Chain A
Amino acid sequence: MDRRDFLKYSGLISAAGFVPEMAFSATGRSPEKIVVLVELKGGNDGFNTLVPYMDDAYKKLRPTLKIDERKVLKLGQGDMGMHPRLQQLMKIWEQGDMAWVQGIGYPRGVLSHFRSMDIWDSGSNANQFLDDGWLTHVLPRVKQGLHGISVSNDGGSLGPLHSARLNSVSMQSPHMFVKQSKSIKNITPVNSTPALAHLTQTQNQLYEVGLQLREKMTRSLRNQKRSRSKGVLGHSLESVAQMIIAGIDSPVYKVTQGGFDMHSGQVGRHNNVLYQVDHALSRFANTMKQNGLWDKVVVVTYSEFGRRAAENRGGGTDHGTASAQFVMGGGIRGGLYGRHPNMNQLDANGNVAHTTDFRQVYATLAQRIWRQNQHPWQGHQTIPFI
């Protein structure tokens, strides 16, 4: 199915409000669409990423941090612009493959990193505690076998992929994974205690995924050229690209860029992390394009919260609520979605009200990418970026 057909098809479905039960792809085959989740850890400052450079309130609240109209990369829509370090991504915007979602957050935003990330990971309300990652409610019905791979330097958390009902693995890189999983024996999962159930299930997944990676990637890993990517995110996304090209049947990948918690000295640090994001994601996009896979991938960024509207005295910003995130890929309908938050109306903590619920993005992915109408976010309107 090409891009236009896909759009038409998904449009049809939402009009009819009905989706046929369909097997997405059998184990072993590469999925039709691949979602790459990019976690921006620490709470990214949305106002200095997607910049409301004409907003008087913005300029007033951020006397030293505001990004000047002359420097900002203007989108040509809604008086919004991208941070000057997002130069390569600007090209993707110009090609119409990038959608910005503005004012994304949730009611009664929690300002704790951990708690708010749990809320994003599980898709819960502010006062609701859910154990499973939000993808648990979609992926098991989409396909069997492997559901997701998290790539990070420290083999970190699975986040949205965390669940006993998902087959998800974490790794540093496919190279290390293939090397280290060689000696792992298969095991039938047991249920004697939750601890042993988790352990044996993980070992079983490790074995299965190791098998698939060895089968599909041994040659490409042997011929691997020296990496030219920079930084943790660059390396992680290079790994993801390798696995997508090799036809690993994971429908979701998760990568992480840390370092967004900037209570002081924000300018230089934010420049640096956004440069990392720009470099890593534009390289990833180019690799996908070169391999004819750009229409297949959907890159989605997220962060536990945004920053406070006003800068603090240390030249930084404290924990906030709504932020801006983006979605990109060959099948994405580029543009600005949602409303820029009203920076004149702040709550008692100095935070803006969100205008888009983050679960609208989940509902959109569930319905328009995975074609599932049964999911927990049906009360949330989809966003027509795809």
Chain B
Amino acid sequence: MGKLGLFKARHLVSRTSIGAEWETIQRYKNLNMRDAIIHTLNAVNYETPRMPQTSAWSKTLGNRNSMARQRNMQRMAKTEGKAIQNWWANHMLTTKSPFLERMTLFWHNHFPSNIDGTKQPSALLEQNQTLRRHALGNYGNLLFAISKDPAMLLYLDGYKNVKEDPNENFARELLELFTLGGTHYYSERDIKEAARAFTGWSIDDRTGKYRFRPELHDRGIKTFMGKRGNFTGEDILKILLKHPRTAETIAEKMWSEFINTSRPNPGYTRQWAQIFRNSNYDIKTLLMAVLGSDAFWHPSNMGGLIKSPVELTIGTMRALPYRLRTNNLSHNLSLMGQSLFAHPSVKGWDGGESWISTQSLMRRSGILTNLTRGNLRKTNDARMMQHMPNCSDEELITWLLPVTPLNPLPTEPGRQRLVRALVLDPAYQVS
């Protein structure tokens, strides 16, 4: 296997990192494909910066249960919500393990819980750590952890799901979004029966952690996916992990994350799903298959993905010496449609082509214009150039764009002018 070279190294880095950092590309271009992927999967550091102060569950419980104090809850959730959004955005900006954050974001979108739905930023921070801990681990463990995660129990009403009054919300999304996918592979009856099995999964008043309340659990016989038994929630998860669709659902999401914006090609995703199941849901094994596939490296897929607002904004700031004047990164992400911890629905962000609407495109162009503005001034020149790679114009274009530029290049000379033109080129918006 030959060395990757600049073009392929930038392809791998731009799709696995947040922004195509020059140093990483330089390291990878002399590696072969397999070694570069292995390095990507393994060079991870799980540390995070100090987290913001948030109100504990025991403190908010009183407000939560009082109609009169809903306004207090709202205010607390809003203030603390902003703090955790900024915390994560800044971590993504400064982390030495961008691939880990990218995958944490991937799972944050697969298992969304949001500020509005939970009104408990402390639980969202906990969930964020859980997602990071399992991001490159085992999907079965992740699914179990998230099903008992307090933020998820809040978001999909699991903590209200009791024997006397089963709540279907979590069971429905578990089947439709987290495992089997779609609405084809199960019946309404399966949802109802699964909901019964999850009754009694609750949150401890004092610690705010998961707690099983046996007195609220329905011990009766359930019929789920053609099987009968006095199933518990754990039994339901085990049955779902045995179903071939669960691995396929994840493989299809990997397609949209790493390959292109078209419908997943079942020729690939079924094969990846098989590999995933055979490895007992080892996420790194699946990623190895995805990143090593010819679909990933096919020239027709270069420029086949649309950069998410996180990639576009934070990626630009990581790869180039551009900074926002004020620290309103997470606010800017919201304007472009990727508000962290605030997905529009339990389905998460649709991603792909839906990142680009006329409305969001104006915002995306706006922020790139803002980032690259001002640095054209002479006074910044030297400082800016220090942080630019020492390479030819051709290499610079290959580095920053996955396809040839769509706009004509500037006729006036100057590295900064060229970089600005490339960042503002429509081709910069794809990966």
Contact = CB atoms under 8 A, between A and B. Distances in A.
Interface residues on B, range: 35 or more
A112 B357 contact: no
A110 interface: yes
A199 B306 contact: yes
Interface in B164-206: 164-165, 167-169, 172, 176, 182-184, 188-189
B304 A170 contact: no
Nearest to A182: B362
Contacts of A195: 260-261, 303-306, 352-353, 430
B354 interface: yes
A63 B150 CA distance: 33
A181 B407 CA distance: 18
Given A199-B430, A312-B165, A170 B362 contact: no
Contacts of B406: 187, 190, 196, 200
Interface residues on A, range: 35 or more
Most buried by A among B169, B347, B356: B356
Contacts of A110: 183
A239 interface: no
B362 A115 contact: no
Given A154-B344, A263-B167, A193 B359 contact: no
Interface string B409-431: 00000000000000000110110
B337 interface: yes
Name the prevailing secondary structure of the A interface residues. loop
A177 B306 CA distance: 22
A15 interface: no
B41 interface: no
B427 A196 contact: yes
Contacts of B305: 195
Contacts of B261: 193-195, 198
Interface string A158-183: 10000000000111100001001101
Contacts of A180: 362-363, 366
Contacts of A187: 406-407, 426
Contact of A348 (B164, B165, B188): B188
Contacts of A205: 358
Given A154-B344, A348-B188, A206 B361 contact: yes
Interface string A174-218: 000100110111010010111110111011011001000000000
A96 to B, nearest CB: 37
A112 B365 contact: no
B183 A198 contact: no
A271 B268 CA distance: 50
Contact of A155 (B176, B357, B403): B357
A183 B365 contact: yes
B54 interface: no
B45 interface: no
A193 B357 contact: no
A314 interface: yes
11 contacts: A112-B176, A171-B358, A177-B359, A185-B407, A193-B303, A194-B261, A199-B429, A203-B361, A263-B169, A318-B168, A349-B188
Given A111-B172, A196-B406, 10 more contacts: A112-B176, A115-B176, A192-B303, A195-B305, A196-B403, A198-B261, A199-B430, A200-B406, A203-B426, A349-B188
Closest CB pairs A-B (n = 6): A155-B359, A180-B362, A169-B358, A170-B357, A206-B358, A193-B304
